[in-house]
Structure 1
Amino acid sequence: MNRTTQSLIAVVVALGAVTGFAAFSGPESTDQGVQAAARQPVERSSLLCPVPSGSDLAETSYTAFTPKGSGGDGAGGKAELLPVTKALTDAPKDDGKKAKPFLTQKAPGQPVAGEESGAEAPALIGTADGTLAPGWTVQQTTTYAAGSGRGMQGANCTAPDTDFWFPGASTAKGRSDYIHLTNPDDSAAVVDVELFGPEGEVTSQVGDSIQVQPHSSVPVLLSTLADKQYANLTMHVIVRSGRVAAAVQSSDEKLGGDWLPAAADPADSLVLPGIPKDATSVRLVAYAPGADDADLKVQLASATGTITPAGHENLHVKAGMTAAVDLGDVTKGEAGSLLLRPTDTSVPVVAALRVTRGKGGKQETAFIPATGPVGTRATVADNRAKGSTLSLVAPGKSATVKVTASAGTEGGSPASKTYTVRGGTTLAVDHPPVPAGLKGSYALTVESVSGGEVHASRMLSAPEEGIPMFTVQTLPDDRGTVAVPEAERDLTVLQK
Structure 2
Amino acid sequence: MSPRTVPSTARRWAAAGAGSALLAVTAAGIAAASLHGPLAAPLELGIPAASVPAGDFVAECPRDVRLPAGTAAESGATDPDFAAGSDSARTAVRATVLSDVAARIPGAALTRADGTAIRRISPALPEGHAAQEAATSEEGLSGLSAVSVSGIDEARAAVLRVQPLGGLKSQAGMVRSYLAGDGDLAGLAVSRCQDPANEQWLVGASTLVGRTALLIVSNPSPSASSVDVELFGAEGQVEAGALRGIALAPGESTSIVLAGVAAGEPALGVRIASAGAPVTAVIQQSVLRGLTAGGIDFIEPGARPSQSQVVPGVAVQSAAATGKLTDQRGYADAAPELHVAVPGRQDAVLRVRAFGPAGEVPLPGGGAATAAAGTTARIALDALPVGDYTIAVEADQPVAAGVRLVRGTAGERPVDAAWASSGERLGSQHLLMVPELAVSRIAFGAPEGAAEISLRPVAADGTIGAARTLSTAAGTTAVQDVRDLGAGTVAVLVGAGGDPVYAAQVLTAGASGVSSIGVPPATGGRRDVAVEIGH
TM-score relative to the length of structure 2? 0.74
Letter in 2 for 1:309: L
Shift of 1:257: 1.3
Partner of 2:354: 300
- Asked whether the 8 Å contact 2:52–2:529 carries over to 1, the reply is no
Q: C-alpha root-mean-square deviation of aligned residues, in Å?
A: 3.3
Residues 221-300 of structure 1: matches in 2 within 5 Å?
221-226=257-262, 228-253=263-288, 254-278=293-317, 280=322, 281-300=335-354
Shift of 1:5: 7.9
In the alignment, structure 2 segments of 5+ residues that lack a partner are 1-13, 23-42, 67-83, 124-143, 323-334
Letter in 1 for 2:480: V
Partner of 2:118: 101
Letter in 1 for 2:394: R
What whole-Å deviation, never above 9, does each CA across 1:97-145 have from its counterpart, x for those lacking one? xx4333524695232213216xxx1112221112494331111111111
**In 1, Cα distance between the equivalents of 2:533 and 2:253?**
47
User: SS of the residue aligned with 1:335?
Assistant: strand
**In 2, Cα distance between the equivalents of 1:313 and 1:484?**
44
Query: Does residue 1:453 correspond to 2:500, yes or no?
Result: yes
**In 2, Cα distance between the equivalents of 1:242 and 1:221?**
23
Query: Does residue 1:125 correspond to 2:159, yes or no?
Result: yes
Distance 1:51 1:365, change over 3 A: same
Query: Does residue 1:110 correspond to 2:144, yes or no?
Result: no
Partner of 1:365: 417
**In 2, Cα distance between the equivalents of 1:205 and 1:472?**
32
Match of residue 474, structure 2, among 423, 426, 435: 423
Partner of 2:381: 327
Match of residue 78, structure 1, among 87, 95, 107: 107
- Asked whether the 8 Å contact 2:169–2:525 carries over to 1, the reply is no
Distance 1:297 1:58, change over 3 A: same
Partner of 2:218: 182
**In 1, Cα distance between the equivalents of 2:59 and 2:437?**
26
User: SS of the residue aligned with 1:348?
Assistant: strand
Residues 1-150 of structure 1: matches in 2 within 5 Å?
6-7=18-19, 42-54=54-66, 55=84, 57-67=88-98, 71-75=100-104, 77-85=106-114, 87=115, 99-102=116-119, 104-105=121-122, 108-116=145-153, 121-131=155-165, 133-150=169-186
**In 1, Cα distance between the equivalents of 2:59 and 2:205?**
23
Residues 337-416 of structure 1: matches in 2 within 5 Å?
337-342=390-395, 346-360=396-410, 361-383=413-435, 387-408=439-460, 414-416=465-467
Letter in 2 for 1:403: L
- Asked whether the 8 Å contact 2:190–2:297 carries over to 1, the reply is yes
Partner of 2:36: none
Distance 1:49 1:384, change over 3 A: closer
Shift of 1:202: 1.6
Distance 1:385 1:63, change over 3 A: closer
Letter in 2 for 1:100: A
Shift of 1:175: 0.9
**In 2, Cα distance between the equivalents of 1:283 and 1:486?**
45
Letter in 1 for 2:119: F
TM-score relative to the length of structure 1? 0.80
Shift of 1:160: 1.3
User: SS of the residue aligned with 1:6?
Assistant: helix
Shift of 1:216: 2.1
What whole-Å deviation, never above 9, does each CA across 1:373-430 have from its counterpart, x for those lacking one? 111222221356982211111121211111111012x687634310111111100223
- Asked whether the 8 Å contact 2:234–2:266 carries over to 1, the reply is no
Distance 1:366 1:175, change over 3 A: same
Partner of 2:130: none
What whole-Å deviation, never above 9, does each CA across 1:29-49 have from its counterpart, x for those lacking one? xx9999xx9999945211111
Distance 1:286 1:329, change over 3 A: same
Between the aligned residues of both structures, percent identity stands at 24
**In 2, Cα distance between the equivalents of 1:48 and 1:8?**
39
Residues 200-215 of structure 1: matches in 2 within 5 Å?
200-215=236-251
Shift of 1:445: 1.7
Shift of 1:477: 3.0
- Asked whether the 8 Å contact 1:393–1:425 carries over to 2, the reply is yes
Distance 1:486 1:320, change over 3 A: closer
**In 2, Cα distance between the equivalents of 1:139 and 1:265?**
22
- Asked whether the 8 Å contact 1:286–1:351 carries over to 2, the reply is yes
Distance 1:316 1:232, change over 3 A: same
- Asked whether the 8 Å contact 1:354–1:367 carries over to 2, the reply is yes
- Asked whether the 8 Å contact 2:437–2:509 carries over to 1, the reply is no
**In 2, Cα distance between the equivalents of 1:459 and 1:329?**
20
**Higher Rg:** 2
Distance 1:293 1:105, change over 3 A: farther
- Asked whether the 8 Å contact 2:201–2:301 carries over to 1, the reply is yes
Distance 1:495 1:233, change over 3 A: closer
**In 2, Cα distance between the equivalents of 1:197 and 1:256?**
22
**In 1, Cα distance between the equivalents of 2:190 and 2:533?**
54
**In 2, Cα distance between the equivalents of 1:38 and 1:5?**
12
**In 1, Cα distance between the equivalents of 2:223 and 2:51?**
31
User: SS of the residue aligned with 1:458?
Assistant: strand
User: SS of the residue aligned with 1:75?
Assistant: coil
- How many residues are aligned here? 440
**In 2, Cα distance between the equivalents of 1:278 and 1:480?**
37
Letter in 2 for 1:104: I
Higher helix share: 2
- Asked whether the 8 Å contact 1:170–1:230 carries over to 2, the reply is yes
Letter in 2 for 1:282: P
Distance 1:8 1:458, change over 3 A: farther
Letter in 2 for 1:374: L
**In 2, Cα distance between the equivalents of 1:72 and 1:43?**
18
**In 2, Cα distance between the equivalents of 1:347 and 1:432?**
41
Match of residue 191, structure 2, among 136, 152, 155: 155
- When structure 1 is superposed on structure 2, of 150-159 and 374-383 the one drifting more is 374-383
Distance 1:44 1:186, change over 3 A: closer
